[in-house]
Homo-oligomer: A and B are copies of this chain.
Amino acid sequence: MSSQQLLVPPPAVLRQPLAVPDRLLLGPGPSNVPPRILAAGGRQLIGHLHKEMFQIMDEIKLGIQYAFQTQNPLTLAISGPGHCAMEAALLNAVEAGEVVLMAVNGIWGERATDISKRLGMADVHQLVKLPGEYFVLKEIEEVSAACIRARTLGLDCSSQALARTAWVTAASWDIRRYKCLLLVDSVASLGGAPILMDQQGIDILYSGSQKVLNAPPGSAPISFSERARKKIFSRRTKPPSFFLDMGWLANYWGCDDKPRMYHHTAPINSFFSLREGLAILAEQGLENSWKLHKENSLYLCAGLQQLGLQLFVKEQEVRLPTITTFVLPEGYDWKEVTAFIMNKHAIEISGGLGPSAGKVLRIGLMGYNSTKFNVDRVLHALKDALQHCHKNKL
């Protein structure tokens, strides 16, 4: 190959420096990363099989057990974003041909349905709520009836309307009469609203690194109850992914009795960052974190109402304290409003997603970003946008 000629020249744009503007990230995530976590992510690497790395992974495991309030031994971080954890949960827990029940009240339930169908499960039943609505306790009866055949019930705690904790608990104990596992998505809620995996009887719980935990996206905590573990480890078939095979991952994370083996090259710096995000949450304490998110969320809601804006989820007690959704008033285009706030105020806020697209705007206050100062900044920017972006403005 000494005579090869390069036909593709080096791209000129790579001669320019990497350009990353400063932004206050008050969308639904990622949130801004505090200096301590940025510093951890910028540290020099060690190997993915070094004993110091295993120690850091053990610390991450403990941190997740605290954040999830669980003692499940099968607790670890997936080497990918929250979507990857959703896929890991489903493709390990569910086998082709099984019945899956999905409580859908937003894009996450829709995507989990899509993923389940791809796994060769023809029989995915959806319980659908309109955006802003939520499931209530009496619907458990419907769920339970269906659960006689279902092996997995998926529930999304990351929607604008948080499933009531009591509901989750009741559902979990109700479906325990059957062979059904309760799977809960807490990507946007973990650390911002109470979730107590063991006490609520959740079988599979996962989250992301880039919301309240304030680490960059790229790793995702996940945990499996003993019931879920047993189902996974007595599958008839291999899961349809090697990368996300929980047998291999459990071993790499020291969750079984065998010596740890090479599985894949872990995102080492992402794990450094996640460890620090979990350490900050542990230092702060879950109760303080829940309290902080609730207070700043209430402060934001009051400010939005003072601007004459209508909250999308009426009842305060089911409102997600990490992401606040409000109705886009008549005469405004959501893209124009968010672009104005981004360009003039260097703040990200976001439109709706999936079923709520075009109808709402979303403001995230997560972890490090959940401060009264940031609420004041975004309210100021929003007021400015409401004055400048109306269709009939002169």
**Of B20, B65, B216, which contacts A52 at CB under 8 A?**
B20
Docked complex: A1-51 residues within 8 A CB-CB of B? 1, 4, 6-11, 13-15, 18-23, 25, 27, 29-30, 32-33, 38-48, 50
Complex interface: stretch among A130-138, A171-179, A267-275, A381-389: A267-275
Docked complex: A149-186 residues within 8 A CB-CB of B? 165-166
Say if the beta carbon of A125 comes within 8 Å of chain B. no
Docked pose: A318 CA to B272 CA in angstroms:
37
Say if the beta carbon of A84 comes within 8 Å of chain B. yes
A8 touches B71 (CB 8 A): yes
Say if the beta carbon of A257 comes within 8 Å of chain B. no
Chain B residues near A27 (CB-CB < 8 A): 47
Chain B residues near A165 (CB-CB < 8 A): 1, 4
B20 touches A43 (CB 8 A): yes
Complex interface: stretch among A234-242, A307-315, A322-330, A372-380: A234-242
Say if the beta carbon of A100 comes within 8 Å of chain B. no
Say if the beta carbon of A262 comes within 8 Å of chain B. yes
A81-B118 contact given A18-B272, A52-B21, A59-B11, CB 8 Å threshold: no
Docked complex: A256-284 residues within 8 A CB-CB of B? 262-270, 272, 275-276, 278-279, 282-283
Say if the beta carbon of A331 comes within 8 Å of chain B. no
**Of B18, B208, B279, which contacts A265 at CB under 8 A?**
B208
B268 touches A80 (CB 8 A): no
A47 touches B83 (CB 8 A): no
Docked pose: A58 CA to B272 CA in angstroms:
28
A66-B282 contact given A33-B45, A45-B32, CB 8 Å threshold: no
**Of B42, B47, B242, B263, which contacts A348 at CB under 8 A?**
B47
A243-B80 contact given A45-B216, A62-B14, CB 8 Å threshold: yes
A38-B30 contact given A70-B8, A243-B83, CB 8 Å threshold: no
A38 touches B44 (CB 8 A): yes
A81 touches B6 (CB 8 A): no
Docked pose: A354 CA to B71 CA in angstroms:
34
Say if the beta carbon of A287 comes within 8 Å of chain B. yes
Chain B residues near A79 (CB-CB < 8 A): 80-81, 84, 218
Specify the chain B residue showing the minimal Cβ separation from A197: B8
Say if the beta carbon of A115 comes within 8 Å of chain B. yes
Chain B residues near A52 (CB-CB < 8 A): 19-21
B8 touches A65 (CB 8 A): yes
Q: Which DSSP category, helix, strand, loop or mixed, fits chain A's interface?
A: loop
A39 touches B42 (CB 8 A): yes
Docked pose: A41 CA to B267 CA in angstroms:
12
Chain B residues near A333 (CB-CB < 8 A): none
Docked complex: A57-84 residues within 8 A CB-CB of B? 58-59, 62-63, 65-66, 69-71, 79-84
Say if the beta carbon of A127 comes within 8 Å of chain B. no
Docked pose: A282 CA to B239 CA in angstroms:
39
A30-B268 contact given A44-B22, A241-B241, CB 8 Å threshold: yes
Chain B residues near A39 (CB-CB < 8 A): 42
Say if the beta carbon of A316 comes within 8 Å of chain B. no
A279 touches B14 (CB 8 A): yes
Chain B residues near A25 (CB-CB < 8 A): 45-47
Say if the beta carbon of A199 comes within 8 Å of chain B. yes
A217 touches B268 (CB 8 A): yes
**Of B4, B10, B80, B282, which contacts A282 at CB under 8 A?**
B10
Question: What are 15 of the A-B contact pairs (CB < 8 Å)?
Answer: A6-B286, A7-B69, A11-B62, A11-B282, A14-B275, A14-B279, A41-B41, A41-B42, A50-B348, A79-B81, A81-B267, A118-B242, A120-B120, A208-B265, A218-B269
Closest 5 CB pairs of A and B: A42-B42, A218-B267, A11-B62, A10-B282, A83-B264
